[in-house]
Chain A
């Protein structure tokens, strides 16, 4: 398990699962940082991504569109994406824009990791 510092996005890995932490405001800048980190984790062999929103108070539509891009990338890599610790207002936005059709929601990162470890990896 190690933290990534360069991208300014907090992240760590648990086996083949990467946990990436979203900032307090998910916008274009912070969304692209998450995207960059997720790509890096996928390139490093991760097969599941947990994006944790425990610090996130506000998201905007650009940030959400970047999240959808991350989901697309992960799908192409055969990886699973789970969102954890999303506040109810943000969940409402995700539902409005159809994100929840493509990802699972977990109460927190630990629950997400447990859930993923119980599932077989999707593989290519």
Chain B
């Protein structure tokens, strides 16, 4: 049947028009594509960050699939927040399922909004579906008055199974954001739900809070790897701005660029907060064109509007008894000694005055909502978005301290207004600066000019030099520093309250390994910080930072450390001397950006490039000669001198022999890669297998017990190091990978 344009764009469950739905286009397409997958497709878990918003995404998916009238019959069911018994939720599910199935089959969107009993749904079912729906409803009526609730819940959740084989298959979108509300029932609804979903022979999507879903899947004896996963985070800045503009337009709220940015940053891109604020502004006919109007409305909403209702509902669900709620608010709000935002479980138990089991339930729910981080022992109260913390503080002052409401309102507005420019400044600074942590996350054993970490040397060479001269100089610089392979980079603020005062972005603690092996000796922690100084950082400021980071390293028990300070304009002479005394690195912003640029370039050229030749050779039988002949041809194209070509050939022969001799290689193959760059030839020789502990990329000192032949057989690496300009073992999980570089010099 040919559909007209009007049918294609019908708004059925969506609360906004498709064109006004912004920021989740890729996710929408992904879910639609999932619906169209084959019958044996795996389920899709939509793992949601709290308040990242999923309802409208699923409703929009529903509309798109309904209007498409394709092979998948969309069914959207949101587990009610208010229906707190599994039985009532199961009945609601069955009703929704049948109603939406019939609506789709009749191509009558209005049916989705009708309030029909199951018997009435049978009456409106199309003749092609009448028989199985009537039978299902009849069975329902038989089960309904049984005494086994679990059996009844199972019956309802298995309704999609009753769709006859020849009929269009349902695509079930189950929104379980409120799954935690069903945790105390006698029937474990989460397990029953997962059990039912796992048995479906058609695609489905289950959306819920990520911690809740992962927990529920594990409780049901599964792992999330068995499903396809879609992670929903808060919106990125651009998408969040688009949402603010779109919601402002829809609600008729005057807004400007400055306040748009404020809302985006203050609410960290949360669709829920943004939408709630703009709906409130629309209803109250408030303009959001100044910081003051934004913060005034924010505090209104926090103390009595949507935000208040949301957080209150969360708290009431977690702790239905008012006195326990008050105790939770007090616990979360009370002044905690600086440096410790954690409270042990026992303190919670004593302060809440309830059983350990109840405390566990409360903490589990707070953890699920990501309002605290609970590891089973201690509770970190730093979690939760800014509005949550504002809500707690205001509630504590109003309910526990009994402060006058007018005073609390005034002070919360004042506090929000004072915070607004700081929020925006931090955001703008972040935009203008490369993030320290991101740069650390790209540390992966690359070789970089050591001068990038030595401001004194760098400024001697390049102070005031044009960028092209700096770039050329660094390109030909052969004094290299091997970066560690960083496996975790976290903000220094999460390690130290002293660092917290300088902002989340301004310090990083990065754990990594140096060299080619994961060993205690190679483990290293880099402690890096941005030093705020408009001029070259002086010795006093530098010393304070060095002391701060060294103390942190000591307190944290870091064995091997590397300090690195970055100051916009570099460091004074005295400060440089101090850094050297402490073995610390110092860089200017220019050096930092050059380093970041270099790492980006390496990352983008990581995959095979057009000027790259790969060769896989069997080990043994003089196959190294093929490598030597290949590299000879390549080196000739680069116009290396004959002597240099011979050196490269010998080096590759030696590297091939080493690879064959030293690895217990399962595939007995040597993987060689020749990368041609404008000024150099980079060769990597790799093999799989176990590397003897005495190799690991380094020459082992000879011992008295070595025979003359043993010693001579260690010549390969010595030769390679002499013949090539740079020789490094790269980090690999298995076997070895040797990288050798020969620079093309004038006359080479």
Binding site for B on A (CB under 8 A): 25, 27, 29, 58-62, 64-65, 68-69, 72, 88-89, 92-93, 96-97
A-B contact pairs, 6 of them (CB 8 A): A25-B622, A58-B650, A60-B650, A60-B657, A69-B709, A97-B715
The answer to whether B646 and A65 have CB atoms under 8 Å apart is: no
Q: How far is the CB of A6 from chain B (nearest CB, A)?
A: 21
The answer to whether B625 and A58 have CB atoms under 8 Å apart is: yes
The answer to whether A61 and B709 have CB atoms under 8 Å apart is: no
The answer to whether A68 and B719 have CB atoms under 8 Å apart is: no
Residues of A within 8 A of B697 (CB): none
Given contacts A25-B625, A89-B646, A89-B647, contact A65 B715 (CB under 8 A): yes
Given contacts A60-B653, A65-B709, contact A93 B643 (CB under 8 A): no
Given contacts A58-B625, A58-B646, A61-B719, 7 further A-B contacts (CB under 8 A): A25-B622, A27-B622, A58-B653, A59-B650, A61-B654, A68-B708, A69-B709
Complex formed: what's the CA distance from A93 to B647 in Å? 9
CB nearest neighbor in A for B661: A62
B700-744 at interface with A (beta carbon < 8 Å) = 708-709, 712-713, 715-716, 718-719, 722
Q: Does B628 lie at the interface of the complex (its beta carbon under 8 Å from any beta carbon of A)? A: yes
Complex formed: what's the CA distance from A68 to B646 in Å? 22
Complex formed: what's the CA distance from A65 to B650 in Å? 15
B153-193 at interface with A (beta carbon < 8 Å) = none
The answer to whether A89 and B622 have CB atoms under 8 Å apart is: no
Q: How far is the CB of B612 from chain A (nearest CB, A)?
A: 24
Residues of A within 8 A of B643 (CB): 88-89, 92
Residues of B within 8 A of A29 (CB): 622
Provide the B642-680 mask, 1 if CB < 8 A to any CB of A, else 0.
010011011001100100000000000000000000000
Complex formed: what's the CA distance from A59 to B715 in Å? 13
Complex formed: what's the CA distance from A92 to B641 in Å? 15
Set A59, A62, A68, A96: member contacting B722, Cβ < 8 A: A96
The answer to whether A96 and B719 have CB atoms under 8 Å apart is: yes
Residues of B within 8 A of A72 (CB): 708
Q: How far is the CB of B611 from chain A (nearest CB, A)?
A: 26
Complex formed: what's the CA distance from A25 to B719 in Å? 17
Residues of B within 8 A of A62 (CB): 657, 713
Residues of A within 8 A of B622 (CB): 25, 27, 29
Q: How far is the CB of B258 from chain A (nearest CB, A)?
A: 69
CB nearest neighbor in B for A87: B646
Q: How far is the CB of B670 from chain A (nearest CB, A)?
A: 14
| Residue with the highest number of chain A CB atoms closer than 10 Å, among B643, B653, B716 | B653
CB nearest neighbor in B for A65: B712
Given contacts A69-B709, A96-B722, contact A61 B715 (CB under 8 A): yes
Complex formed: what's the CA distance from A42 to B327 in Å? 98
**Which label, helix, strand, loop or mixed, suits the secondary structure of the A interface?**
helix
The answer to whether A61 and B722 have CB atoms under 8 Å apart is: no
Complex formed: what's the CA distance from A65 to B716 in Å? 10
The answer to whether B712 and A68 have CB atoms under 8 Å apart is: yes
Q: How far is the CB of A114 from chain B (nearest CB, A)?
A: 29
Q: How far is the CB of A68 from chain B (nearest CB, A)?
A: 6
Residues of B within 8 A of A64 (CB): 712, 715
Q: How far is the CB of B206 from chain A (nearest CB, A)?
A: 61
The answer to whether A65 and B713 have CB atoms under 8 Å apart is: yes
The answer to whether B654 and A58 have CB atoms under 8 Å apart is: no
Residues of B within 8 A of A97 (CB): 715, 718-719
Residues of A within 8 A of B628 (CB): 58
The answer to whether B654 and A60 have CB atoms under 8 Å apart is: yes
B214-257 at interface with A (beta carbon < 8 Å) = none
Q: How far is the CB of A102 from chain B (nearest CB, A)?
A: 13
Residues of A within 8 A of B647 (CB): 89
Complex formed: what's the CA distance from A72 to B654 in Å? 23
Residues of B within 8 A of A96 (CB): 718-719, 722
Residues of B within 8 A of A92 (CB): 643
Complex formed: what's the CA distance from A5 to B543 in Å? 77
Set B625, B649, B716: member contacting A61, Cβ < 8 A: B716
Set A27, A58, A88, A93: member contacting B719, Cβ < 8 A: A93
Residues of A within 8 A of B646 (CB): 58, 89
B378-400 at interface with A (beta carbon < 8 Å) = none
CB nearest neighbor in B for A97: B715
Residues of A within 8 A of B719 (CB): 61, 93, 96-97
Complex formed: what's the CA distance from A88 to B642 in Å? 11
Complex formed: what's the CA distance from A65 to B710 in Å? 10
Residues of B within 8 A of A61 (CB): 654, 657, 712-713, 715-716, 719
Residues of B within 8 A of A89 (CB): 643, 646-647, 650
Complex formed: what's the CA distance from A59 to B651 in Å? 11
CB nearest neighbor in B for A28: B657
| Residue with the highest number of chain B CB atoms closer than 10 Å, among A59, A64, A65 | A65
Residues of A within 8 A of B715 (CB): 61, 64-65, 97
Complex formed: what's the CA distance from A27 to B622 in Å? 9
Q: How far is the CB of B655 from chain A (nearest CB, A)?
A: 11
CB nearest neighbor in A for B656: A60
| Residue with the highest number of chain B CB atoms closer than 10 Å, among A27, A59, A60, A68 | A60
Q: How far is the CB of B265 from chain A (nearest CB, A)?
A: 62
Complex formed: what's the CA distance from A122 to B349 in Å? 95
The 6 A-B residue pairs with the shortest CB-CB distance, nearest first, are A65-B712, A89-B646, A61-B715, A61-B716, A60-B653, A61-B719
B360-387 at interface with A (beta carbon < 8 Å) = none
Residues of A within 8 A of B624 (CB): 60
CB nearest neighbor in A for B715: A61
Residues of B within 8 A of A88 (CB): 643
CB nearest neighbor in B for A25: B625
Residues of B within 8 A of A93 (CB): 650, 719
Residues of A within 8 A of B712 (CB): 61, 64-65, 68
Complex formed: what's the CA distance from A58 to B628 in Å? 9
Complex formed: what's the CA distance from A60 to B643 in Å? 16
Complex formed: what's the CA distance from A25 to B646 in Å? 13
Q: How far is the CB of A123 from chain B (nearest CB, A)?
A: 25
Residues of A within 8 A of B650 (CB): 58-60, 89, 93
Residues of A within 8 A of B713 (CB): 61-62, 65
CB nearest neighbor in B for A90: B646
Complex formed: what's the CA distance from A19 to B646 in Å? 26
Complex formed: what's the CA distance from A34 to B359 in Å? 83
CB nearest neighbor in B for A59: B650
Complex formed: what's the CA distance from A28 to B688 in Å? 23
Q: How far is the CB of B57 from chain A (nearest CB, A)?
A: 63
CB nearest neighbor in A for B644: A89
Complex formed: what's the CA distance from A25 to B623 in Å? 12
Residues of B within 8 A of A69 (CB): 709
Q: How far is the CB of B112 from chain A (nearest CB, A)?
A: 78
Provide the B614-652 mask, 1 if CB < 8 A to any CB of A, else 0.
000000001011001000000000000001001101100
Complex formed: what's the CA distance from A68 to B718 in Å? 16
Residues of B within 8 A of A65 (CB): 709, 712-713, 715
Complex formed: what's the CA distance from A60 to B661 in Å? 14
Complex formed: what's the CA distance from A29 to B712 in Å? 16
Complex formed: what's the CA distance from A60 to B622 in Å? 11
CB nearest neighbor in B for A69: B709
Residues of B within 8 A of A25 (CB): 622, 625
Complex formed: what's the CA distance from A96 to B716 in Å? 12
Q: How far is the CB of A97 from chain B (nearest CB, A)?
A: 6
